Amino acid sequence: MALRIIGEHPLARRPDGRLVSRVATLFLRDRLLITLPGIHATQRLAYVQTVNADRREAGLAPLSAQEEQHAWENSVDLIAENGHLLIRPDPARMDLALEADEALQELISKRRIRFLNILDERVRQAVTEKGELWRISPLPQSVDEIKAMIGRSRIAIAQRPIYYYNMITGQRFVTFEEFDRLGALDAEALRRQLEEIRDYAQRPNRRGYPEVSFFMTDGSFGPRDLAAGDPAAADEAALRRLYEQWRDRFRAAVPPPFRRDDPDAAPWRCAMFSALVSRRDEPVSEEILRGLSPEFFLQIRWLAGGRIERGEILFDPVFEEFEARPDDPELRALCDPNAKRLFFNFIREFGDVEYLNIGRVVTSLSSRPSASGRRDVYIAEIKLSGVPRPLVRIIRFLKWGIREHLEEQKDLLRSIIEAEEYAEYILDRRLGCRQLGMNLPSRITMHKIAERYHGSRKEFEGQLLWATYAERDYIRGIATDKLPAARLAAPEFAVRFAALLGEAAAPSIIVGRLHLNGTVLFDDGDEVLLEDEQGLPAAIVVADHTGTFSDYQTELTAFAEGYAGPVNRRLALVPDPAAFVEAYLAGFRQRFADVQDEFRRRRRAFVTLFRHGQYAQEGAFAYRWERVLERLDRTDVDRLVEAVRRQIRWPS
């Protein structure tokens, strides 16, 4: 039976571009989609009226109260937003949400249908198991996007669009500023608006949330205050007095920073964002992804992939849509060809995959400036049969591959050779870092995908090339530079963290870890803090050894300021600055001395480690390795520590 619509198409717009209706309700039993303007509660009444009219024509009795209740319980709320139809699932009835999804695909492209309730584990799990994390409606990823979302959330019920709408809970928030502006309305418009606010503030929706709430009140003003007055029975003078009484009590209940709607002000913007995307029992700061560190919060754009059914690979049909419309920018962003190739590699590698989701890290998690070369980073979540917890892998394409060398106007053979040499260089660097005490992930593997060349060299257009990527396990911790300041307020935590940071700094300075612009690379996104069961610092792992062996000749004391930076950035945040400094320097000194002693004790093993490699003064790793060892040997660790100490900037 075809889907029947009462009202306009759910994404229909008025001549001025506004949506005809922001909400819709799908009644699955009757395959009836109600899109009439209003709220979900009024659409449920419209459903009853429509079905009863049909039943009268068929000579049947109207729906019983039990039948009405059953139909409502088997309906799904929808919200139209920014060109998409968003399913608001009941987490306890994900079967209904998935059934609604299938039905709506008869009407709208699958890519236009997304799922809300991103913070609910049951919703995420159901969508994850379909291999379709890309269909969870993404939260904004920048200040501008947050501001745009707040602007789009404005909605009306029957009167003026004065409410900010939470699509997850169905709440409509009225701010003090919007309420304050009502005083400029004429008497009848004011009466209707106040009646609407009064009535809906006292009416819970199907999820138990009030239809209308008052933004950022302290609890001293609410529906009970409004219940004491009746705008419908008041003459104009009494109406104005009633409004002013409510306005004054509303104002007194709202802290001053929230009495004006100002998306440019961070406190107001963050509070409104939290009100619009979270539930009252679930703060927005909660991690979205299972076990992923907070620095990944909002940073992943999940991509179309596929699913596995009875061992068969079924790629998502949106790829076919993309083939038919390759110039569509939304489809181009969603249907990343490399994600499809990575999907294929994982299936070939593991074989017994239950589901797989691949996403692109859309913004750099490090604080360093961007440089030339490839910067693609992906994340994959793979659930294997019989393994209780999904594997999470980080995929980073090598900066210099065949494509990048072709762009440097090198011939194809030279580009292939240099790309392979670079991959070998990366692995040698990793081994060198481990030999010199850097705590790196225990496992990393190199893989390749084939991709088509599209660049400035027209003679190679469409040529199949290989791109190499490094794959490692995800490190379940938090990047040191993104550690919340509040964590450092605990004395024991701060001192332990300082000692570990100092220990991590020693191998970093030994291997000359610098950005191409000459700045020190440390404590900028690659160092990940692991905590013990008590939540105290346990270890720091360097997730990526980018920039190591960049400098192999400069005396290490020249980098003292860069390695004092991690301390200087935190001294104003810790309860005992002196203890923090001493713990950092002690950890630094001890780790440096241990590496130096190990080298001197087993000098031959260190010196000969890379003698099999190509040796040339310019660039070859074997040459860099020897220079780094010579510098390590001649460095006076006490003099180096004192040089760092002199760069400490004590807070005034």
Summarised one tens digit per residue, pLDDT across range 546-590 is 899 999 999 999 999 999 999 999 999 999 999 999 999 999 999
Note the pLDDT tens digit of each residue in 281-303: 333 333 333 345 444 544 678 89
Give percent of the chain above pLDDT 70. 93
pLDDT band at 616 (very low <50, low <70, confident <90, very high): low
* Mean pLDDT, range 371-388, rounded to an integer: 85
Indicate whether 34 pLDDT > 60. Answer: yes
Give percent of the chain above pLDDT 90. 57
- Which ranges of 121-175 does DSSP label H, i.e. alpha helix? 121-129, 143-152
Specify the range with the lowest mean pLDDT, choosing from 23-27, 273-277, 291-295, 337-341. Answer: 291-295
The pLDDT, as a whole number, for residue 169 is 85
* Mean pLDDT, range 164-188, rounded to an integer: 92
Write out the two tokens for 340.
């499809």
Of 108, 116, 137, nearest in space to 35 by CA: 108
At 405 the three-state DSSP class reads helix
The pLDDT, as a whole number, for residue 291 is 41
- Which ranges of 388-516 does DSSP label H, i.e. alpha helix? 402-407, 412-435, 491-510
Indicate whether 352 pLDDT > 70. Answer: yes
Indicate whether 76 pLDDT > 50. Answer: yes
The pLDDT, as a whole number, for residue 121 is 81
The pLDDT, as a whole number, for residue 615 is 58
Euclidean distance between CA atoms 66 and 71, whole angstroms: 9
Backbone angles phi, psi at 278, to 5 degrees: -125, 170
Indicate whether 165 pLDDT > 60. Answer: yes
Which tops the pLDDT comparison, 277 or 379? Answer: 379
C-beta of residue 500 within 8 angstroms of C-beta of residue 477:
no
Please state at what angle helix 577-601 crosses helix 621-634, rounded to 10 degrees: 110
The pLDDT, as a whole number, for residue 282 is 38
Which tops the pLDDT comparison, 223 or 628? Answer: 628
Indicate whether 499 pLDDT > 90. Answer: yes
pLDDT band at 138 (very low <50, low <70, confident <90, very high): low
Backbone angles phi, psi at 136, to 5 degrees: -80, 125
* Mean pLDDT, range 4-29, rounded to an integer: 91
Please name the residue that has the structure tokens 């919340």. 484
Exposure on the CB side of residue 40, measured as CA atoms within 13 A: 29
* Mean pLDDT, range 646-651, rounded to an integer: 92
Indicate whether 133 pLDDT > 90. Answer: no
Average pLDDT of the residues of the chain: 88
pLDDT band at 280 (very low <50, low <70, confident <90, very high): very low
Residue type, 40: H
Report the DSSP pairing between strands 444-452 and 478-479: unpaired
